[in-house]
Chains A and B, each alone.
Chain A
Amino acid sequence: MKTCLIVDDSRVIRKVARRILEDLRFQVEEAGDGLEALTACRKSMPDGILLDWNMPLMNGIEFLRALRKERGGDTPIVVFCTTENDVEHISEAIKAGANEYIMKPFDGDILQSKFVEAGLISYEAA
């Protein structure tokens, strides 16, 4: 079973994402900000990370840059999931090593489609 870490400061979003990802047969962990997420990754690198941008303590882009410098931090597939929806933010995310990008609001179809693009779910399984 693949693992996915949901990083979002909104408990509601984490709950919605968890339900969708568990339906897609992921084992889900949660973190409320970038620092918590980094601690979780140091313990165990997940296969995928669904990552919000604006969070307290450490935001999504800071977390991503820090993650990619960690030992084994190049392996998780990172999918941003944020209300930031302009080309500048998207480009910055890709430059920092994001694999895919979801603009909120999202639904199960979009999340699944993006996880397929990112290679976290095979197209046949989708």
Chain B
Amino acid sequence: MATAMADADFAFVAREVKARSGLVLTADKSYLLETRLAPIARKESLASVAELAAAARLRRDERLIWQMTDALTTNETHFFRDRKPFALLRDRIIPELQQARPAGRLRIWSAATSTGQEAFSLAMLLDDLRAGGRGVDAEIVATDLSERVLEKARAGLYTQFEVQRGLPVRTLIRHFEKVGEFWRIADRIRAMVRFQRFNLLDDLAPLGVFDVVVCRNVLSYFAPETRRQVLERIAAQMTDDGVLLLGATESTVGVSDAFVPEGGYYRRTLVREQTASAA
């Protein structure tokens, strides 16, 4: 049975995890600590999550702290999650952006991509557009804080359970091949995505400038001030007409003026408009 974490240990874990990932852990999230950290405690031969936290604090064990950060920030995902953003991309956002830059290549960023489902959903969407005669020249950059989830993403191997949530069966057989008990994303789709370890709290400039940023179900884990900062730094890495997609329950409204809502997605606010309204 779980013994409660000492206050000093909880405060330590919360502070260190926040510094590394932006994730805000409040006392009411103790269930999350318990379920996510118990496997690490077991692997480290520690009796409980409380002992794991104490060990990390007393030893200032960087490796343990990163493992805990990784476990706490990894979230469940599935293919074409929420559907609507993908329909908007296919029917409105991508055609519009493409029309505005007839010869240009679109750069799409899947931020906090997790185990690859979001990035591969984007790639499949582009591939289907191509097959339908609407060729799109695009590059997908997919980043996550966790090397562990990126390893899974790069392998492109999914269980039968994973490929049955969100993926229509025709999409499955068009874009995957069966390998033993697993389903592997086609090389053609995998080649469209570049996976890279990246922390949203770091300097974003090395990633370059994007036309579309998909950053879903991440901001809600941040403190309000961090949310604003991250949104503004994302805006700085976007083209003037760039589009941002957030999670179904997230919004830029009341958080940052760097974006304007446009029915299901957010458009980067033109810098001159920001200056004008500030004047």
The distance from the CB of B276 to the nearest CB of chain A, in whole angstroms, is 39
Within A42-96, which residues are at the interface with B (CB < 8 Å)?
85-87, 90-91, 94
* Interface: B169 (CB within 8 A): yes
Q: Return chain B residues, CB-CB under 8 Å to A90.
A: 169, 172-173
Answer whether A109 and B165 are a contact pair too, CB < 8 Å, given A87-B178, A123-B83.
yes
Answer whether A103 and B160 are a contact pair too, CB < 8 Å, given A86-B178, A87-B177, A91-B173.
yes
The distance from the CB of A79 to the nearest CB of chain B, in whole angstroms, is 9
Instruction: Name which residue of chain B comes closest to A100, CB basis.
Output: B169
Instruction: Name which residue of chain A comes closest to B78, CB basis.
Output: A113
Q: Return chain A residues, CB-CB under 8 Å to B168.
A: 100, 117
Do B169 and A94 have beta carbons less than 8 Å apart? yes
* Interface: A102 (CB within 8 A): yes
**Sorted from nearest, which 10 A-B pairs have the closest CB atoms?**
A101-B169, A117-B168, A110-B164, A113-B165, A103-B160, A90-B173, A87-B173, A100-B169, A87-B178, A123-B83
Q: Return chain B residues, CB-CB under 8 Å to A91.
A: 173
Do B173 and A114 have beta carbons less than 8 Å apart? no
* Interface: B170 (CB within 8 A): yes
Taking a contact as CB atoms closer than 8 A, the residue among A94, A110, A117 that contacts B161 in the complex is A110
Question: Can you list 25 A-B contacts (CB < 8 A)?
Answer: A85-B160, A86-B178, A87-B173, A87-B177, A90-B169, A90-B173, A94-B169, A94-B170, A94-B173, A100-B168, A100-B169, A101-B169, A102-B164, A103-B160, A103-B164, A109-B165, A110-B161, A110-B164, A113-B164, A113-B165, A113-B166, A114-B164, A117-B168, A117-B169, A123-B84
Q: Return chain A residues, CB-CB under 8 Å to B166.
A: 113
A residues with a Cβ closer than 8 A to B are 85-87, 90-91, 94, 100-103, 106, 109-110, 113-114, 117, 123
Q: Return chain B residues, CB-CB under 8 Å to A85.
A: 160, 178
Q: Binary interface profile of B, 168-199, with partner A (CB < 8 Å = 1, else 0)?
A: 11101100011000000000000000000000
Instruction: Name which residue of chain A comes closest to B164, CB basis.
Output: A110
Q: Return chain A residues, CB-CB under 8 Å to B178.
A: 85-87
A117 to B172, CA, bound (A): 12
Instruction: Name which residue of chain A comes closest to B170, CB basis.
Output: A94
Q: Return chain B residues, CB-CB under 8 Å to A117.
A: 168-169
The distance from the CB of B117 to the nearest CB of chain A, in whole angstroms, is 13
B residues with a Cβ closer than 8 A to A are 83-84, 160-161, 164-166, 168-170, 172-173, 177-178
Instruction: Name which residue of chain A comes closest to B177, CB basis.
Output: A87
Q: Return chain A residues, CB-CB under 8 Å to B161.
A: 110
Q: Return chain B residues, CB-CB under 8 Å to A94.
A: 169-170, 173
Instruction: Name which residue of chain B comes closest to A103, CB basis.
Output: B160
Instruction: Name which residue of chain B comes closest to A114, CB basis.
Output: B164
A110 to B169, CA, bound (A): 12
Which of B164, B166, B172, B173 gathers most chain A CB within 10 Å?
Answer: B164
Q: Return chain A residues, CB-CB under 8 Å to B160.
A: 85, 103
Q: Return chain A residues, CB-CB under 8 Å to B164.
A: 102-103, 106, 110, 113-114
Q: Return chain A residues, CB-CB under 8 Å to B173.
A: 87, 90-91, 94
List 14 extra interface pairs beyond A94-B169, A110-B165, CB under 8 A: A85-B178, A87-B178, A90-B169, A90-B173, A91-B173, A100-B169, A101-B169, A102-B164, A103-B160, A106-B164, A109-B165, A110-B161, A113-B164, A113-B166
A101 to B170, CA, bound (A): 9
The distance from the CB of B179 to the nearest CB of chain A, in whole angstroms, is 11
The distance from the CB of A30 to the nearest CB of chain B, in whole angstroms, is 23
